[in-house]
Each structure stands twice: as structure tokens, then as C-alpha cells.
Homo-oligomer: A and B are copies of this chain.
């Protein structure tokens, strides 16, 4: 593993545990087994390290998400896939998920920051995906009639909240995923 990768891994661990502001460049360097200036050789600064990690994490996530686009099958099975994918994502990349969800609250207020842009891009994509599912479902009679936009909001919120609770380890049951899907099925399907 290159030293650059060392830096990224160490930083990811530390950002996830302590947040962006709570992590110093010295800690990152120590944890990575390098000296501080090397961080500035490979990155423009602490912020770019953070952004790189975020971007890498998001890219991995994005690949998973994009794979859903060409899915065939019924409307609900596509909703179900979206939900179960998000459960998997948290399990497979908890540090990155924590970062996106929790490490940069102040940056979320800055409309120009990558952090905000990532969240918006993700939300937009999920909204589009869900909108299409729901439209199709209603059209085909698989779903009961319902207003589309606010239902998209509701499902987005459910996914968002589920990830957050899972990342923060607030969940109390082991079968939340199945119950969540069943819950949505009853809410959506005719």
C-alpha cells in the first residue's frame, strides 16, 4: 500500500471517529506512519484529504446505486432493491457512511461544498428513481393510487433515517431490514 493510501485510510478512520474538526493533521500523519508535510505533498490540505475520502466513498456508493438503474422487474421489487442496497452499503462501508451522514455538519450548510453537493446529488438520484418506480407502480396497478412527490419524500426520509440509525447504532432489532421492506410493501402495494 502506498503512503498516499495510508494517509487516506488513516484519515478516514479518524474523521469517522472524531469528526473533521476534531481530527488534526498530526494525528492523521501519525496514524498513517508518515510525517505531516507528506500530507501536503499529496494533497492541497486537510480539506482535500477529507474531500478525497468523501468522493471515493461516494463513488463506491454511486456504483452500487447506478447498478439499480437498469433493473427489470416490478415496481415494488425495484423499491425493495433500493432499500436493501442502502442497508448493505452501511454494513459494507460504515466509516464512509458515517462520514457522509455525520462528519461535516457545518459543511452541509455551504451550498458550494462537495459535501452538500454529494448529498444533493444522492437525494436527487434517489428521488428520480423512486418517482419512476411509483409512477410505474401506479400505472400498472401494482401500487395503490397516491400523490407521487410527497411519497417520494417519505420513502427518501425512511431510507435516510434508516441509514442514520444504523450508522449511529441506534437500531434495536436484527430484522429491521425485512420489516422495513414489508412495511413499505403494505404502504405501497394494492
Contact = CB atoms under 8 A, between A and B. Distances in A.
A157 B179 contact: no
A153 B109 CA distance: 28
Interface in A74-114: 102-106, 108-109
Contacts of A160: 160-161, 164-165
Nearest to A185: B187
A148 B18 CA distance: 34
B161 A175 contact: no
Nearest to A181: B154
A171 B146 CA distance: 17
A168 B154 CA distance: 15
Interface in A148-190: 149-154, 156-162, 164-165, 168, 170-176, 178-180, 182-184, 186-188
Contacts of A158: 154, 157-158, 161
Given A164-B164, A186-B187, A173 B153 contact: yes
Q: So how many copies of this chain end up in the complex?
A: 4
Q: In which size bucket is the chain A interface? A: 35 or more
Contact of A22 (B21, B170, B175, B183): B21
Contact of A157 (B103, B150, B165): B165
Contact of A152 (B149, B161, B173): B173
Interface of A: 17-22, 102-106, 108-109, 119-120, 123, 127, 144, 146-147, 149-154, 156-162, 164-165, 168, 170-176, 178-180, 182-184, 186-188
26 contacts: A18-B109, A20-B21, A21-B21, A21-B106, A103-B105, A108-B168, A120-B170, A144-B186, A146-B183, A149-B172, A150-B173, A150-B178, A152-B173, A153-B165, A154-B179, A156-B170, A157-B165, A157-B180, A158-B158, A159-B161, A160-B160, A160-B165, A161-B161, A164-B164, A183-B187, A186-B186
